[in-house]
Amino acid sequence: MPLLIVAIPALLFAAWLFLEPQRLAWRRQRIAQRPFPDAWREILRLRVPYFRRLPPDLQLQLKQLIKIFLAEKAFVGCAGQEITDEIRVTIAAQACLLVLNRRDGYCYPKLRQVLVYPGAFAVEKKVSDPIGLQRVERQVLAGESWSSGQVILSWQDTLSGAASDDDGHNVVVHEFAHQLDQETGAANGAPELPGARHYANWAQVFSAEFEHLRAQADAGEPSLLDQYGASNPGEFFAVASEVFFERPGEMAQQHPALYQQLSGYYRLDPLSW
């Protein structure tokens, strides 16, 4: 009897572990099959101009992912910001762009909340000076990504980033690239890849490109990638992701190896749009 008492909960837990992925997949399939609201379609038309450039199959896939994202992720207004469908759909559309063509129904499994401020917000961060002494510094940000399952965004910067889809700057793409990076731990510029060979190729290309951007920043030379990406490898990956989606032709021409790595990782070729 004591063994049976112990065994039953263990068997129930094992059954839950086995059935939960199937239950989640079934639930997401039902959500994806729901009609896409006309009001949401109008928000895409007005606020997310890159949507019109996507081929029809990716448009359909993106709308399905938006429905799943909005069903699973909580939005929280900060500093008096009211959460509306316009905010939710505009952010979800840009976030889901990064996870197209993932046939496993992937949709940021560790993300729980999207916090939205009306505009840029201030945070206090610990920074180190050249000799290693730490101090608290107040910074004004347009976005931030936390490995604990939150993304924080400025609505004003979200709108401007979505409206200009060819300037290489998009705060939603930037912060959700950090979310992908943080799935393997701290944001270090090495998101989850299929295997050791892919990591070796990634490291070779990204290390060379990161050092090149640092050299350009030190020399005061202009660069296609925002020189904020020279801060550290995590920021480099996020900045490179912005340019990959918004200025793919220039990236493919000026940084072909980097474009190839990002195209393989995101499973997309924006040049073909």
Give 22-63 pLDDT, tens digit per residue: 787 888 888 888 999 999 999 999 999 989 999 999 999 999
Average pLDDT taken over every residue of the chain:
90
Predicted confidence at residue 17, as pLDDT, reads: 47
Residue 124 host element (H or E): strand 121-128
Strands 113-117 and 121-128: unpaired
Whole-model pTM: value is 0.88
pLDDT tens digits, one per residue of 190-209: 999 988 889 999 999 999 99
Predicted confidence at residue 194, as pLDDT, reads: 86
Residue 130 host element (H or E): none
Cα–Cα distances (Å) from 139 to 43, 109, 110, 120, 133, in that order, read 32, 29, 26, 10, 18
Considering all CA atoms of the chain, what is the largest pairwise distance in Å, rounded to the nearest integer?
Answer: 76
